[in-house]
Chain A
Amino acid sequence: MDVLELARWQFGITTVVHYFFVPFTISMAFLVAIMETIWLRTHSERWLRLTKFFGKLLLINLAVGVVTGLVQEFQFGMNWSDFSRFVGDVFGAPLAMEALLAFYLESVFVGVWIFGWGRIPPKVHLATIWVTAVATLLSAYFILAANSFMQNPVGYEINEAAGRAEMTDIWAILTNKVLLISFPHTAFAALMVGGAVVAAVSMWHLVRGARQPELAEPGGASDPGAFRRSLRVGAVAVLVGGVGVAVTGDIQGKVMTEVQPMKMAAAEALYETQQPAPFSVLTIGTLDGREPLHQLEVPQLLSFLATGSFDAEVEGINDLQEQYEQVYGDGEYAPNIPVTYWTFRLMIGTGVAAALVALWQLRATRGGRAPTSRWAVRVAAVLPVLPLAANAFGWIFTEMGRQPWLVFGLMRTSAGVSPGVGAGSVAASLAAFTVLYAGLCWLWVWLLVKHARPGLPDVTAEARWGRGDRSGPDADGEEDDAERPLTFVY
């Protein structure tokens, strides 16, 4: 493999791994914030226990998310220095804004949330988790602003003398039509991840409580009074996320047809322009869909998805290739069709599957019922994997679907790679990061399971603090505690 391929693999692996943690963090922060809010409103101890329980899972996840994010920020310069030179004037601004406006908030306030139990007033404590949650979403907005510029460059002009793109309109960049639709799409997709984790863990505890009644007493580790409620919160989150993703995804398809028609054609492996165009559900044949043997199609559906009209024409890969050759010169302008065709289907399929599971969970817990079967546990184990996979496939689709462009219409991926970095260096870093990520993912899952298993923690001390009692969990009743040492958290 040459430097270009190695650098692309490294970017792809880093992004996919980083993106296991991002949607988890965003949605879990909101769900934990909601749980803590309910606790402070109702003073019902079960919500406090749920807050602390799922808060721990959030923190395990946050640590890996932050550190893998560092690699993301560094590798534009490390592996893609010509890209950074070319677009830095435009692309650097949203990244710097993310750090200044969002990331500081997130990291500083989550630290206060972790260490602030019993130490700051409960309402301030609640505010810190809400600030953290909103900041994670703000982060996503700025990062997507940078990514949307690569999909659909706006608000710039090319400075020929400097050989770079220069920003002319920050507002255009922050209201890029690709951004305005990919932001809610991404946010809803993230919501599905956190919801699925909450629903799955809760279901596991419900089954355990049903089998070991001593754990299921009120106040017990698997208290169904708490976990039935959290399961429903999680399942509703998955469903709301699922509906939101579908609606925004539909609009996104139309924007994509407008600004990146090749990506739409590649998603469908639509080689010839058709009017009206059918939607291919699944195909069996050559992997790139060029010669389908058995194909399951819905007539006219692609026309509707791409344009909003059942009779419209959808341009095919071959026509687009010809058009692009005229505009940009000779070259291959179609992305890797098997990858785009299959990731598009897998994204939708895993997302729909997650929503169906959530629907079933809501049915299974109606009217105080709790599932007890072995199947319920198996489903619980699979559930979080589904939206995580959907998120990953979505990103692989949208990034691979942009190829051969790095910045659509302006810079090819092959032109962006660092000229001075050798294949040996990149191979070494790719190997090191891959091994590290593998260990990190294993550790992440292992720790999440380990901390999800024991169930709800004891929270007598925090409950007192939440009722406005001045003394916190580490209190000894003294009024003036300025000199009393802090206690351990780690």
Chain B
Amino acid sequence: MDLATLWFVLVAVLWAGYLTLEGFDFGVGMLTRGFARDETERRILINTIGPVWDGNEVWLITAVGATFAAFPEWYATAWSAYYLPLVLILLALIGRGLAFEYRGKGDTPRWRRRWDLVIFAGSLVPAFSWGVLLAGFTRGLPLGAGHDFAGGFADLVVPYTLLGGVVTVALSLLHGAHYVALKTVGDVRTRARVLAARLGGPVVVVVAGFLAWTVAAYAEGRAVAWTAAIAAGAVVALCTGVAATRRGREGWAFTATFTGVVAVAAALFAALYPDVLPSTLADANGLTITNASSSDYTLTVMTWVAVPVVPLVLAYQGWVYWTFRRRIGLPG
């Protein structure tokens, strides 16, 4: 495997990791409205992700940093093309991060209600927008001869990418419900299980439809077979999750959606390879792992850094999850 392919895989791994890790905390954030009935339940939900959400968000920072370092053209073109959606994402993520830290530090119910709204919107908006963005990579953008974005906002939000956004929201919700069932006790746990069982069917249908569209329309040549295989794996994983929930196997259900989200992301990147951002105007204008990547020297340096460090990061992040593995109960 050449270095550019290795880094494409690493970027895909980082995005998949981000989507599945932050996915459940986005889901939990969305469940604070509607699902949680009172202040205590909202606090239970927020505390389930308390020690981990910040570490989860670092996956995004690393995914973007790795893209910048390994594929500067990809980062430059995509990040300027998605200017307004990224502004929205940033506003949402800023508000959300603040809300977790600050909602408990005021005293009035009104204070907390406002931050609750921020947590909800701050989870929904990025969950949706990242789906739109990643689906957009797979579909491609109207790029001019200099690899510059030649379209407008309307080219970013087309039916396929909007469905991509729906898929990430739906997956986050299901994944979040599985996480809540796994991390809480009593009534909240039971209701999370019921909600997960109800959501399971529709989510599988939406995801399967989106993946079928991806394979049919955007995978080419050899990529068709891999993409189809990974997509099938995603659907199987999600179905396993639904079955596990119905049998009350919370750990298995969470593992299943964890795998499912990773597989959906993997399918999108498999359909994309060896492009990184195709052009919908002319094939020659598109960005590929060859014309968008950094020099061999840079990729080699970065490989020397990443190869020992990534397993280390996984190890200590795993240790944190292990340390805080217990369920969240009522205070006092």
Interface residue ranges, A against B (CB under 8 Å): 59-60, 63-64, 66-71, 73-74, 76-79, 81-82, 84-85, 87-93, 95-101, 103-105, 107-112, 114-116, 119-120, 159, 164, 166-168, 170, 418-421, 425, 428-429, 432-433, 436, 440, 443, 447, 450-451, 482-490
Contact = CB atoms under 8 A, between A and B. Distances in A.
B154 interface: no
Rank and list the top 9 A-B pairs by shortest CB-CB distance, nearest first. A88-B72, A485-B329, A77-B79, A92-B69, A63-B101, A92-B68, A96-B69, A81-B76, A96-B65
A104 B84 contact: no
Contacts of B326: 482-486
Contact of A99 (B65, B72, B97): B65
Contacts of B70: 92, 96
B54 A111 contact: yes
A70 B94 contact: yes
Contact of A432 (B75, B87, B328): B87
Contacts of A482: 326
Contacts of A428: 84, 87
Interface of B: 43-44, 46-47, 50-52, 54-55, 57-58, 60-62, 64-66, 68-70, 72-73, 75-81, 83-84, 86-87, 90-91, 93-95, 97-98, 100-105, 146, 148-150, 185, 294-295, 297-298, 301-302, 305-306, 309-310, 313, 316-317, 320, 323-324, 326-332
Given A108-B55, A114-B51, 11 more contacts: A69-B61, A70-B60, A74-B90, A77-B78, A88-B76, A89-B294, A93-B294, A93-B298, A96-B66, A108-B58, A451-B105
A84 B51 contact: no
A478 to B, nearest CB: 13
Nearest to B146: A419
A143 to B, nearest CB: 11
B42 to A, nearest CB: 10
Given A77-B80, A487-B329, A488-B43, A92 B72 contact: yes
A81 B79 contact: yes
Contacts of A70: 60-61, 90, 93-94
Contact of A71 (B80, B84, B94, B302): B94
B301 A92 contact: no
Which of B69, B105, B305 has the most chain A CB within a 10 Å cutoff? B69
Contact of B298 (A66, A90, A104): A90
B203 to A, nearest CB: 28
A89 B68 CA distance: 8
Secondary structure of the B contact surface, majority rule: helix
Contacts of B46: 490
A92 B72 CA distance: 7
28 contacts: A67-B97, A68-B94, A70-B60, A76-B79, A77-B64, A81-B76, A84-B72, A85-B72, A88-B69, A88-B75, A91-B68, A92-B298, A96-B68, A96-B70, A96-B305, A99-B66, A100-B62, A107-B55, A115-B51, A167-B294, A170-B301, A421-B83, A433-B91, A450-B105, A485-B328, A486-B47, A487-B332, A490-B103
Contact of A166 (B77, B295, B320): B295
Contact of B320 (A60, A103, A111, A488): A111
A89 B306 CA distance: 16
Contacts of B148: 81, 419-420
Contacts of A85: 72-73, 76
B65 A167 contact: no
Given A60-B101, A100-B313, A440-B94, A115 B62 contact: no
A490 B80 contact: no
Nearest to B87: A429
A419 B72 CA distance: 16
B242 to A, nearest CB: 27
B109 to A, nearest CB: 16
A78 B83 contact: yes
B80 A166 contact: no
A297 to B, nearest CB: 46
B98 A98 contact: no
Contacts of A97: 302, 305
A89 B320 CA distance: 34
A443 B102 CA distance: 9
A135 to B, nearest CB: 11
Contact of B51 (A71, A111, A164, A432): A111
Given A63-B98, A488-B43, A103 B73 contact: no
A59 B9 CA distance: 35
Contact of A486 (B80, B81, B83, B329): B329
A76 B64 CA distance: 11
A425 B55 contact: no
